[in-house]
Structure 1
Amino acid sequence: MTETPKGMAPPVSDADPFAPDALENPEPLHAALREAGPVVHLTRYDVYALARYEEVRAALVDWQRFESGAGVGLADFRREKPWRPPSLLLEADPPRHDAPRRVLSELLGPPALRRLREQWRRTAEEMVDHVLARGVEFDAFTELARAFPLRVFPDAVGLGPDGRENLLPYGNMAFNAFGPVNDLVKADAPRAAELSGWVNAQCVREALAPGGFGARIWEAADRGDLTHEQAPLVVRSLLTAGVDTTVHGLAAVLHAFATHPEQWQRLRERPHLARVAFDEAVRRQSPVQTFFRTATTDVTVAGVRIPRGTKILMFLGAANRDPARWSEPDRFDLDRDPSGHVGFGMGLHQCVGQHVARLEAEALLTALTRRIARIEPAGAPRRHLNNTLRSWASLPVRVHPAS
């Protein structure tokens, strides 16, 4: 990590990154934190903030000193009971993290994606044709970015058709819970028991169709690769992390193309750049904006001593727009190599399903490039505020079909 003079006190800020204006438009706060220094003490929550790429990436890969097991939100699991059993992937470190990670890495590896590619391509083409048949103006968030993952991913997991409308509200609640107990968390409270109960019911063996990812997780438990107590928690992690981030990543890339028509033309000319486009959109408008870690020991970051047991707030979205790492970071540019962005995390806890998300994006974007010559805004997009996610509520667009 970057070193500054030893013993230097960090700059102090009373900014609230979870305030509505900061969630609606986080870039000014991100720029201010990067400018202030490599480490900033946020007095409102008594946490240390990292907003520059170098420090964020280093903390993400150093799981020994920056642990996830005490929770990746503001709540400290060593001092307070989690609202639900912690995720065995996101909120656990080795050795508890190892077996679940190994099982999911195998299940979501290249052979599985090869089996899904053609099926998801056909589904994307059917969905795009259906949307275009109804008109050239539509909400790209609800009709595409939300609809496509909610169809193909639960199918792949093995969920039944009923109740899928609960997946995004549950994910919204889970990602809100990583922040403070503010109005967003309180708004989720009336449905918390209902949504948690529904999701937990989908994770039992009997609810999952044979051959899907969920059933194969239970088969891994039968082989002894997991315990049978771990299996439903791994299925739950798959459902929690596998939908919301992809939905909002797809919305980010569709919004980027609507506002950068020259990049859409480039994609139409070179459709193989679909995955690059998705990663560039995730870099530019990271669906997951923040995650916490906890210092396992007194640790020095850029000359600032962070005491053992202290929460560290990593601004992934700010790191992904750090001008020290990215040239013209606010631009959406298919000529850029976005690899190395931290939108999917980095290191041991890097998103295990990121290649699934890329495959979904490839299928949908490829179907669109074949049918649409131009995509443009048809109104002001609307954000959906969440303590962790850069979320959307509406993305009105107008398209010009290809001749």
Structure 2
Amino acid sequence: MTTHGVFQSEINLFSDHTLLNTQEVFTQLREAAPVVYLPANDVWAVTRYENIRDALSDPTSFSSKAVAFNPQMNEILSGTSLAADPPEHGPLRAVLTDNLSPRAMRSMKADIYAKAEQLVKDLATHGSFEGMADMAVAFPVSIVLDLIGIQGDLRAKILPWGEAAFNLLGPMNERSQQSMPIAGELFQWTHEQMRGTDLAEGSIGRNIWEAAERGDISHESFGYIVHQILAAGMDTTITTIGNALVLLGQNPDQFELLKQDPSLVAATLTEVLRLRTPAPVFGRLATKDIDIDGTIIPDGAQVALLYGSGNMDPRKYDNPEVFDITRNAVDHLGFGYGIHACAGQGLAKLEIHGLVEAWAKHVESYEIGDVVQRLNNMTRPYESIEIKNIQLAKVNA
């Protein structure tokens, strides 16, 4: 529906139907217009690849002070690199990138790959396993908790804390309301209770604490940054590992290509992120009237950048619905783009590359059984994935 030159839709970005049918809904919006106003959410959705990438390149016009879709969470996120604009963004981001730099990641690669290899070998020999709990969740959780330096009983709380925090990036719907008490425990721990001495020596968490002690960042920012790593460092990686298992299992021709040419591991991840964007929408705040292909997004409006829609835009990618690991879509939006591109993508790549490489090495074939999706306002995880009828590669049979 077009009103005064603005295309409107009754779609609710955060309804159960949209969460369960994201690609179908995003296709409808994308093919309707480059910008669609959604009264149900009071947001202006940017739907096409080039427009989304342009917006991510322009933090002056598209501020991250409304990265969430409710004012309470945007207030809580104030002071984090996720919700900061230049010049405040630079120092906050630097603390993250210094500890997650390519050099730091290189030193971790051998250990992460060895752990991935052992996990895959153990699971594959069983002939079947639960893909989410046994692999997609277990592996990144153990890696990230060690990285942050979290010890003791707290380790069991981190995963539900992170998932709740992602729910709260959406509007204050029923899912967010239910997540508030759980996420509140995370906020309380990171902002009030946590001390550097609680974190293991040499960990990223301890290094960030020491940066605060030196005065490089505020002590308040220390809690925010650790909170960010915990909330975002696992959930999207967990979702992507699950997606990789499902897509490779449902497309045995592509799995065969990967087994024949292990150099396609990196391209496999980019294609998984493109086709199944783990966090397919993020918010921004329009700081002025913005003209996108003739539609004016008004100053002060909440904007929804539909990463998952841009990644499926046929104006950008040929046959975007096809899972093709030779596509090598390195310019996908799965990790975002610009100054807010995922700071932890180096770690995510190491974890997922290690698992995918080991999986292709040790498994000849497998099947996907029952798959159950879990509803989250911001991510698209599976609740469970049945991995069955695993045939080991000949070198392991």
Q: Give the Cα–Cα distance (whole angstroms) in 1 for the partners of residues 214 and 57 of structure 2.
A: 31
Contact 2:268 2:328 in 1 (8 A): no
Q: Give the Cα–Cα distance (whole angstroms) in 1 for the partners of residues 227 and 184 of structure 2.
A: 15
TM-score of the pair, normalised by structure 1: 0.92
**Aligned partner of residue 245 in structure 2, secondary structure:** helix
Match of 1:62 in 2: 58
Q: Deviations over 1:175-224 (max 9, x none)?
A: 11122222211222343433433455785302111111111112223343
Contact 2:168 2:179 in 1 (8 A): no
CA separation of 1:165/1:25 partners in 2, compared to 1, >3 Å: closer, same or farther? farther
CA separation of 1:314/1:225 partners in 2, compared to 1, >3 Å: closer, same or farther? same
Q: Give the Cα–Cα distance (whole angstroms) in 1 for the partners of residues 371 and 193 of structure 2.
A: 33
Contact 1:344 1:354 in 2 (8 A): yes
CA separation of 1:351/1:87 partners in 2, compared to 1, >3 Å: closer, same or farther? farther
Q: Give the Cα–Cα distance (whole angstroms) in 1 for the partners of residues 173 and 340 of structure 2.
A: 27
**Aligned partner of residue 373 in structure 2, secondary structure:** strand
Which of 312, 318, 326 aligns to 1:321? It is: 312
Q: Deviations over 1:327-382 (max 9, x none)?
A: 111111111021111111110111111111001011111221221111221x2211
Contact 2:7 2:33 in 1 (8 A): yes
The letter of the residue matching 2:133 is T
Q: Give the Cα–Cα distance (whole angstroms) in 2 for the partners of residues 337 and 126 of structure 1.
A: 28
Match of 1:31 in 2: 27
Q: Deviations over 1:272-328 (max 9, x none)?
A: 221221121011100001111011111111111111100111111111101111111
Which of 345, 351, 372 aligns to 1:382? It is: 372
Q: How many equivalent residue pairs?
A: 391
The letter of the residue matching 1:385 is L
Identity of aligned residues (%): 34
Match of 1:98 in 2: 90
Instruction: Give 1:84 shift.
Output: 3.2
2:71 matches 1:72: no
Q: Give the Cα–Cα distance (whole angstroms) in 2 for the partners of residues 27 and 271 of structure 1.
A: 29
Instruction: Give 1:107 shift.
Output: 1.4
**Aligned partner of residue 376 in structure 1, secondary structure:** strand
Match of 1:229 in 2: 220
Q: Give the Cα–Cα distance (whole angstroms) in 2 for the partners of residues 257 and 161 of structure 1.
A: 36
**Aligned partner of residue 268 in structure 2, secondary structure:** helix
Contact 1:72 1:293 in 2 (8 A): yes
Q: Deviations over 1:63-94 (max 9, x none)?
A: 0000002x212224xxx575734351111111
| Aligned pairs (5 A) from 1:230-249 | 230-249=221-240
Q: Deviations over 1:17-76 (max 9, x none)?
A: 21101101111211111111111111112211111111111111110000002x212224
- Greater helix proportion: 2
| Aligned pairs (5 A) from 1:11-22 | 11-22=7-18
**Aligned partner of residue 229 in structure 1, secondary structure:** helix
CA separation of 1:275/1:8 partners in 2, compared to 1, >3 Å: closer, same or farther? farther
| Aligned pairs (5 A) from 1:88-127 | 88-127=80-119
Contact 1:160 1:208 in 2 (8 A): yes
* Structure 2 stretches lacking a partner, 5+ long: none
Which of 126, 132, 138 aligns to 2:129? It is: 138
Contact 1:279 1:338 in 2 (8 A): yes
Q: Give the Cα–Cα distance (whole angstroms) in 1 for the partners of residues 165 and 180 of structure 2.
A: 11
Match of 2:39 in 1: 43
Moved more, 328-337 or 122-131: 122-131
Q: Deviations over 1:158-182 (max 9, x none)?
A: 1114332322222221111122222
